[in-house]
Chains A and B, each alone.
Chain A
């Protein structure tokens, strides 16, 4: 587009939105028929317009656990607001209660993966396995874990603070099997582990995370 064509840009825009005046339209159409640059620009923009209108993936499904995660963070928010009144402004920073799980480590879903998993070790004599679970939640005073392996004990097993701020951990000794679980924050709020490899609705309106502990490497 040559410099003198700049004024046609505005006309083109109004042309495309159907807001152009008749005189201007005649002017533009005449120009487009004469100026190959402008006509190409016009064709390109119509092409872009068409591609945008027919774009197939306009809406993208969020992960199924996102809603739970959002609602849990709002629950955390309420607590923090209360803390805000009683304590300090820093509570606000803590509101960024973004759940991050480091891992339910390793080979859990893959019995055929390479030998000697990094964390989970088998104790042949008792038939139980050790699983390390991490949970990131800086805005908690206490975190425990409960689930099928504790018979859903309302108190759960307390998790320990790691060296890293906001990161909690626990070593579980469990028999091979499939276990639903939740974390308990401050002894009150049950939340799923959003980064666990498997999630399933708990039927009560919330979500459970699933811990898979396969039997030893029986093929």
Chain B
């Protein structure tokens, strides 16, 4: 009898979990062994797995994400840092913005031997700049400029923002002076002069 109950439970619990747990549990590859290997367990692990699953759910390729996750956890990012990177990825993806620049920024920091905490801080700042830059590109589109390569334009604008330009300032300069003469070299390769002006 007991065995029977146990067997039923064994089948039903995962089934129930499938419906009740956050979408995170849909990830096909389990990251638990990887996390445990790096000392992440218990509640932390559950939360991380949830987040990871959500990122997969949002449409980031699982293969790509797993490889990235493996690399960064091996580099020494702790649970909190991993969560922050995943959250940022999720947010960008949900907003329809390129998330790969975030992955690349993390890898860049790793290649440059930067400590994990700093890697994450810089990456999140970069992520924020990307969001702001997307706003700038959108604003320019609304003003009638055509975008030939959105990701390129966003990354380029994020670069200008990192140099201290303000979003409004960029829009204003491009609108009043035209893409070519706004003083943002390279932008004209990704942004066309629209109907305005």
Contact = CB atoms under 8 A, between A and B. Distances in A.
Q: Say if the two chains contact directly (CB < 8 Å).
A: yes
Interface of A: 108-112, 146-148, 151-154, 176-178, 180, 182, 190, 197-198, 200-204, 206, 208, 210, 212, 214-215, 218-219
Contact of B111 (A146, A177, A178, A197): A146
B109 A204 contact: yes
A190 B111 contact: yes
A152 B162 contact: no
Contacts of A176: 149, 152
Nearest to B164: A201
B162 to A, nearest CB: 6
B104 A198 contact: no
Contacts of B156: 178, 210, 212
A4 to B, nearest CB: 60
A104 to B, nearest CB: 11
Contact of B122 (A154, A190, A203, A218): A203
Contact of A178 (B112, B148, B155, B188): B155
Contacts of B105: 203
A151 B107 contact: yes
A43 B119 CA distance: 63
B107 A152 contact: yes
Contact of B186 (A154, A203, A208, A210): A210
A1 B51 CA distance: 88
Of the four ranges (under 10, 10 to 19, 20 to 34, 35 or more), the interface on chain B belongs to 20 to 34
Contacts of A218: 148
Nearest to B151: A177
B163 A110 contact: no
A197 B152 CA distance: 16
Interface SS majority for chain B:
helix
B152 A198 contact: no
22 contacts: A111-B189, A148-B101, A151-B103, A177-B149, A177-B151, A177-B152, A177-B155, A178-B151, A178-B156, A178-B190, A182-B112, A198-B159, A198-B185, A200-B162, A200-B163, A203-B105, A203-B125, A204-B122, A206-B112, A208-B108, A210-B186, A218-B148
A215 B105 CA distance: 23
B110 A203 contact: no
A146 B103 CA distance: 15
Q: Which of B104, B151, B163 is the most central at the interface, judged by chain A CB atoms within 10 Å of its CB?
A: B104
Contact of A210 (B118, B148, B151, B159): B159
Contact of A109 (B109, B110, B163, B186): B186
Contacts of B126: 203
A203 B188 CA distance: 25
A154 B188 contact: no
Contacts of B103: 151
Contacts of A206: 112
A203 B162 contact: yes
A204 B120 CA distance: 11
B163 A152 contact: no
B13 interface: no
A180 B103 CA distance: 13
B192 interface: yes
A151 B186 contact: no
Contacts of A212: 152, 156, 186, 189
A27 B126 CA distance: 71
Interface in B95-109: 101, 103-105, 107-109
Nearest to B126: A203
B34 interface: no
B195 to A, nearest CB: 13
Contacts of A111: 188-189
B131 to A, nearest CB: 15
